[in-house]
Amino acid sequence: MAFLRERPLQRQRESAPIAPQTVFLHASGMPMSSAEGTNGQQEGNPMARSKPTARDALRKLREQRAQLESEEARLREEAATELGKVLIECGAETIEAAQLRQIVRASMALGIEETLKRIAPA
């Protein structure tokens, strides 16, 4: 049976120390000022992104508008559901839809505070 023997610590300390190495992350041959902030894109690079045009901006705006309209429709449905629950809790489900519409429109025309003052018991 053979045992491997480790070298004594003294011999390891006596060996020449390893010099630290410096690693440069910028491209060699390229000055730092032109390498910073370009994400590797240089003038004349065929892979560089082109400047957005007015047509691209309009297309993006239309897409955003469509998204906002669908979000608005979804939120209106949620608001209607919440208001419907409030009406049922108050017992207003017996009021005809046309009458409820008139009440709400008149309240909005007068203002909520004024409407509450007028219907409050004296």
Q: What is the pTM of this model?
A: 0.47
Neighbouring CB atoms inside 10 A of 35's CB total: 15
- Nearest CA-CA partner of 40 in 28, 50, 31, 27: 27
The mean pLDDT value of the chain amounts to 79
Rounded mean pLDDT, 15-21: 61
Is the dihedral angle over the CA atoms 5, 6, 10, 11 positive or is it negative?
A: positive
pLDDT tens digit string along 20-66? 666 656 555 555 555 555 555 555 566 667 788 999 999 999 999 99
**C-alpha dihedral, 76 to 77 to 82 to 84, nearest 10°:** 110
> Which residues, including other chains, have CB under 8 Å from residue 93's CB and lie 6 or more apart?
87
**C-alpha dihedral, 53 to 56 to 60 to 66, nearest 10°:** 130
Q: Residue 5 has what pLDDT?
A: 59
Asked if pLDDT for residue 116 goes beyond 90, the answer is yes
Q: Tell me, what amino acid is at 107?
A: S
Sort 100 into a burial class: Cβ within 10 Å, 0-12 / 13-18 / 19+: middle
